[in-house]
Structure 1
Amino acid sequence: LKVGFKKLAKKNDYIRIENIGDAFRHSGQNPTEDIIKDMTEKAKAIKIRVPQEDEDEDDIKLPDDHLSFADFLTAVHEYWIPIENDKQQLQEAFETLDPQNKSKLMVDEFVYLLKNCDWTEEDIELLLSQVSCADGYFLYDGKKIIVHYLSF
């Protein structure tokens, strides 16, 4: 979770509440919009402070929209799904996209996989610009993904 948080926090020690879903995604998670909404509401609730007996409600500063890492953990902890074996999950993804085990994927399917792994459009376009995919396929081999131009 810290990697996803730091990716958005950069030099700061906080992220904006509105970016909680992006930070969670950068941590390798795939939350639904409903989960993001729930995490956002929890984050907002964390920032609201109840007045003490000797304080007037009007004296309490309105909550800001910044989350520390500790606040982020509190807001997202119930939705965190540990990713214990990335290699196995990647292999399962390839098996889903290549059920006949031909060790090749259509570029469109590969792009779909990358988008679901939170690759940006810019990164995907950069990757595709570096290879020739005239036949529309990527070949892959084990842990490595090898891009080939297949001519028929």
Structure 2
Amino acid sequence: MLDKELIFLNFEAEDWKDLLSRLSDILYEKGYVKKSFKEAILKREKVFPTGLPTLGVKVALPHTDTKHVLKPAILVSTLKKPISFKEMGNGVNDLDVEIVFLLAVTNPSYQVQLLQRLINMFSKKNILLSLKECENPQCIYDILERELY
């Protein structure tokens, strides 16, 4: 699921809608998701926000139904400037997110496992700070490969 071509550093966007729209377009153009993915991810984020109040670096974990995905992928993007996402669970608090993990999963049971691994990794402040400090996609790739597999 990890691919260096899906790791972006210092990505810029106006807000979470612009960000998820543009990142969804990248997944679509590279053949990972169906055209319906973008609308599905935006709708889901409105109803079930994915911002996480992690220590050190706030993250967002947008994902949607597997029916919109052609092949599995994790798109990772560090942000040039933090973008406000609503907090997962309560949908009220705003979080200044600095790293986005956009998931495209084809197997629903694997999605649960992957989310658990990511949440476990997100509990490690030093790992999140290391990801934020990476200056090239290989650095992020190496950390994620070590932590997730």
Query: TM > 0.5 between the two?
Result: no
Higher strand share: 2
Higher helix share: 1
With normalisation by structure 1, the TM-score equals 0.29
Larger Rg: 1
| Higher relative contact order, chain-length normalized (CA < 8 Å, sep 6+) | 2
